Amino acid sequence: MFDATTATASDVPQIVGLIKGILSMEFPEYQAAYATDDLDQLMQAYAGPESTFVVAEENKRIVGTCGIKADGRETAILRRLFVDPAHRKKGMGYQLLQEE
């Protein structure tokens, strides 16, 4: 079973590794199309009262991510919803969205 919690600064290396690993494995031909600038300053990019970054952990290993970024007073952008391939189809994406 996994736990979904708000990301911390110490999670950043695992988060970046998971996301960049999935992008390179599953979308290698589209690397230029997927900007990763928010990953360079993850905690700052998702700071603020209407933004958050949530991770799913299993045995202290991050296996899922979800970023929600404010985009105005009444809207937000869902970003960085990634789940480790071995953990897909178990409801993790849904749980990440509910954690916010």
Question: Model-level pTM?
Answer: 0.88
Nearest to 51 by CA among 100, 3, 10, 1: 100
Which two tokens mark 77? 């952008």
Three-point CA angle 21, 23, 28, nearest 5°? 110
User: What pLDDT, in 10s, does the model give residues 18-43?
Assistant: 999 999 999 888 877 777 888 889 99
User: What pLDDT, in 10s, does the model give residues 57-85?
Assistant: 999 999 999 999 888 888 989 999 999 99
CB atoms within 10 A of CB 55: 24
Predicted pLDDT at 40: 86
Predicted pLDDT at 100: 58
